[in-house]
Structure 1
Amino acid sequence: MSAKYILGMDLGTTSVKVVLLDSLSKTVTDSSTFPTHSDVSSKTIEHAKEQDPARIIATLDQCMAALPREKLTEVMCVGVSGQMHGVLFWKSETGCEWSSSDEGHRFRPQDVSTLITWQDGRCSSDFLSSLPKPESHLSVATGFGCASIFWYNKHRPAFLSEFSMAGTIQDYVVSMLCGSEGCVITGQNAASWGYFSTTKNQWNMDILKGAGFPVHLLPEPMESGSIAGRTCSEWHGIPANTPVGAALGDFQCSVYSCMKDKTDAVLNLSTSAQLTFAMPSDFTPQSTPDPASPIAYFPYFHHTYLAVAAALNGGNVMATFVGMLTSWMKEFGVQVHDSEVYSTLVQCALTQPTTDLCVNPTLLGERHDPTSLGLVSNISPSNLSLGHVTRAICRGILNNLATMMPPQALLAAGVKRIMGSGSALSRNEVLKQELERVFPLPVVYGEDVDSAVGVAMVFNDRL
């Protein structure tokens, strides 16, 4: 039997990645990734974080053009994942414009807004506290789709009147590929917007209508893993009428890519950090959110949930420390590249196997405790070397995760090993040492999470 392929794509916060998965061997044969450089500044909205969807789609085209065209003609399904929580608005009749060239058919965004991302900070705590309480186990935070729509509805209602549809950036791509005037959304992405009941797989319509929310903008919920439609046109060599999966969350797909067994926990330590494991199949979350809980339950597949400790403080803490040191040295007239500083810090810490210096690294707060700040304690003249400080920071990053999801909770859930992944973990031996010290479980490295691979695996398993 000749090879057939699943196309998996991930529309991330800083880059786009596409992969071709051989449906028979279940291995990735080709992949391509490029940075989007899509951030745009808002001069009128404080703490806004927005991106240009045209740049994101142009980067997607760039990725697709780098894949072998002869294999793209053999694609049997398209899977799409992307950054969760964010929201994009468009006109359902004219959301894109298709064009053709020697390279094939492509679409360009038309009559769309900027993408308000998950990092958006326009919704203050006072504003969020003024919103109605959701009928959901998940709290609503700034950067969540429904919170952003509530903000526009209050502060700039005329803006919303220009559009007829809303969705995540990945929902938008699925709609455009299928030529749909409407939009569908899986529970994975809808839950990340807030005001969505994962047990009922429906929006909190009565609550939203009662608050004057423009519910006509909301996409139609679908089960995660469902097929949303079929390509309305040939696209980069992929034939018209090819099935397209309803868009999935990048977090769930990243877990799917490397969770080999239900007794695995997955730790991804990159810019931020996430530690997660699968809940039993009969688990149902409570119907009201607990904002003070460090554990969130994300909808996964087949009506199951992932228990997630999502720390805002991960590799970005080390990056901040490196940036501080390079800035200090610059003031002394010494220019040193960040990468050189980073590698020196790791080497110093490796020669310092333990430390009594204590660093609580919550520089960015945490979602369950947004007012917390970093703290350094137990300082003495003997523990101020670079080795001591670096070791203490790395230990603090893992200790912070352990306070959110204690090792005892993993053991009680039947977790037998941790799949360790992420750029910060892969380049820092000290973080690996501290992970194994804080969590007394076997750790398997090298199983890097990959949302593009994960979404391809999801739909390959469902065909």
Structure 2
Amino acid sequence: MHGVMFWKAGRGCKWTGTGQRFEPEEVSHLITWRDSRCSSNFLSSLPPPWSHVSVATGFGCATIYWYLQNKPDFLKHYDVSGTIQDYVASMLCGLQRPRMSTQNAASWGYFNTTRKSWNTDILGKSHFPVHLLPEVVDPGDLAGETSCVWHAIPKGTAVGAALGDCQCSVNSCLPESTDAVLYIGTSAQLTILAPVGFQPGESPDPRSPRTYIPYFGNRYLAVAASLNGGNVVSAFMDMLTEWMAELGLEVPRSTLYQRTIQAALAQADTALSVSATVFGERHTPEERASVADIVTSNLSLGHVTRALCRGMIRNLHSMMPSQCLVEAGAKRILASGNALSRNEVLRQEVERMYPFPVVYGKDMEAAVGAALVMLRRQ
């Protein structure tokens, strides 16, 4: 939902066979939310947005600004841009220009969610190529209709405008207003519905660890979106694998992971402290991971793994403390995601940090949430 790609209007793909598939033609590569080319200094040089959403590296508009200042000829090859979901919807419908939902637009930066419009005046004054920006529609509105038969889907089938993956993941579990929703996959997100009628301000706070993103029915989600989730455990596994290889040993990654978690489960507590922000955070991009309170008695694999998992949840708690959930009226936490389902240590640390009943196993799939939006529309 933050990523961006570019294509030529009307020439973004070619259909093959009898309309069974389309192949990218005049398109760029996808630049994802994990792109880190926009440094803090670069971001601080950009004009302040007229929006409550801060602009971070990996956001669509920030990436376009980077190309504008560093590789302007690249942008001359294209006249349309969007998320990869917007591209797919546009190709299915044969659109000249994509229709982007407010959810994806907000995730690009320089979009005022209250007025539902791009900051075209601010962008235009800095020579930003505003012609690249998509038309914006409400979540649940249509992008168009399929322009031909696509596998078993007939021509003329309604295609919804692409939606935010965070919003759809939350929507898929149909939470009550008193439910906080925790999802830990590659990254980590903790959300809760903002009160009915809530409206965010129109200026960002770059140092705030929480933001408000457009949901459905003109509501907002309060979100702590951490860049550090399952990718931290994966990086730890990579490190252990490399150490083993340097020692001339080879252990299957699945076996290494299983034994690492078992060691941590056998170590119920630890005084070792790990700040697990390996990938920084959007509100503190300069932050790095660290280890403290090291003594000879807490250097075992169990201590280190337990401290790493605790550090991940402690970081999320620093972004969305228990008190914030209490004030929002939370009664329980619905928790899901591959990182949580595979890691009992993480689940233990969630329950240690947050004094709420935690319900696991609630399916949270963005595709399911998006489908539910279209079903309600029907």
* 1:296-344 CA-partner distances (Å, limit 9, x unpaired): 1111112211111111112222222222222222222111122212111
Identify the residue that residue 369 of structure 2 maps to in structure 1: 454
Identify the residue that residue 340 of structure 2 maps to in structure 1: 425
Identify the residue that residue 62 of structure 1 maps to in structure 2: none
Identify the residue that residue 153 of structure 2 maps to in structure 1: 238
Is 1:188 the counterpart of 2:96? The answer is no
Equivalent runs, 1:113-192 vs 2, <5 Å: 113-192=28-107
Q: Cα gap change, 1:105/1:322 in structure 2, threshold over 3 Å: closer, same or farther?
A: closer
Contact 2:40–2:285 (8 Å) recurs in 1? no
Is 1:403 the counterpart of 2:315? The answer is no
Contact 2:227–2:281 (8 Å) recurs in 1? yes
Please tell me the residue identity of whatever aligns with 2:5.
Answer: L
Identify the residue that residue 271 of structure 1 maps to in structure 2: 186
Identify the residue that residue 86 of structure 1 maps to in structure 2: 3
Identify the residue that residue 223 of structure 1 maps to in structure 2: 138
Contact 1:196–1:202 (8 Å) recurs in 2? yes
Report how many residues are paired.
378
Please tell me the residue identity of whatever aligns with 2:267.
Answer: Q
For structure 2, list consecutive stretches of 5 or more residues without a partner in the other structure. Answer: none
Deviation at 1:194, TM superposition (A): 0.7
Please tell me the residue identity of whatever aligns with 1:136.
Answer: S
Equivalent runs, 1:11-410 vs 2, <5 Å: 84-101=1-18, 104-410=19-325
Please tell me the residue identity of whatever aligns with 2:15.
Answer: W
Q: CA RMSD of the aligned region, Å?
A: 1.3
Deviation at 1:429, TM superposition (A): 1.0
**Distance in 1 between the 2:77 and 2:248 partners?**
53
Deviation at 1:98, TM superposition (A): 2.0
Contact 1:85–1:189 (8 Å) recurs in 2? yes
Q: Cα gap change, 1:153/1:282 in structure 2, threshold over 3 Å: closer, same or farther?
A: same
Bigger mean CA deviation after superposition, 375-384 or 209-218: 375-384
Please tell me the residue identity of whatever aligns with 2:94.
Answer: G
Please tell me the residue identity of whatever aligns with 1:91.
Answer: K
**Distance in 1 between the 2:277 and 2:199 partners?**
30
Contact 1:359–1:376 (8 Å) recurs in 2? yes
Please tell me the residue identity of whatever aligns with 2:8.
Answer: K
SS of equivalent residue, structure 1 residue 419? strand
Please tell me the residue identity of whatever aligns with 1:92.
Answer: A
Deviation at 1:106, TM superposition (A): 2.4
Contact 1:250–1:451 (8 Å) recurs in 2? yes
* 1:169-204 CA-partner distances (Å, limit 9, x unpaired): 111111111111122111100111110000011000
Deviation at 1:158, TM superposition (A): 2.2
**Distance in 1 between the 2:241 and 2:97 partners?**
50
**Distance in 1 between the 2:364 and 2:142 partners?**
24
Please tell me the residue identity of whatever aligns with 1:418.
Answer: I
Contact 1:185–1:222 (8 Å) recurs in 2? yes
SS of equivalent residue, structure 1 residue 288? coil
**Distance in 2 between the 1:379 and 1:405 partners?**
27
Contact 1:259–1:419 (8 Å) recurs in 2? no
Contact 2:82–2:98 (8 Å) recurs in 1? yes
Deviation at 1:410, TM superposition (A): 0.5
Deviation at 1:382, TM superposition (A): 2.0
Deviation at 1:456, TM superposition (A): 0.6
* 1:382-437 CA-partner distances (Å, limit 9, x unpaired): 22222222111111111111111001111110111111111111111111111111
**Distance in 2 between the 1:110 and 1:330 partners?**
42
Q: Cα gap change, 1:369/1:240 in structure 2, threshold over 3 Å: closer, same or farther?
A: same
Bigger mean CA deviation after superposition, 312-321 or 392-401: 312-321
**Distance in 2 between the 1:350 and 1:156 partners?**
50
SS of equivalent residue, structure 2 residue 186? coil
Please tell me the residue identity of whatever aligns with 2:233.
Answer: M
SS of equivalent residue, structure 1 residue 389? helix
Please tell me the residue identity of whatever aligns with 1:408.
Answer: Q
SS of equivalent residue, structure 1 residue 454? helix
Give TM-score, length-normalised by structure 2: 0.97
**Distance in 2 between the 1:292 and 1:384 partners?**
34
**Distance in 2 between the 1:341 and 1:105 partners?**
43
**Distance in 2 between the 1:117 and 1:303 partners?**
27
Please tell me the residue identity of whatever aligns with 1:299.
Answer: P
Contact 1:259–1:265 (8 Å) recurs in 2? no
* 1:82-134 CA-partner distances (Å, limit 9, x unpaired): xx111111111222222334xx5322222111112211122222221111110
Contact 1:259–1:266 (8 Å) recurs in 2? no
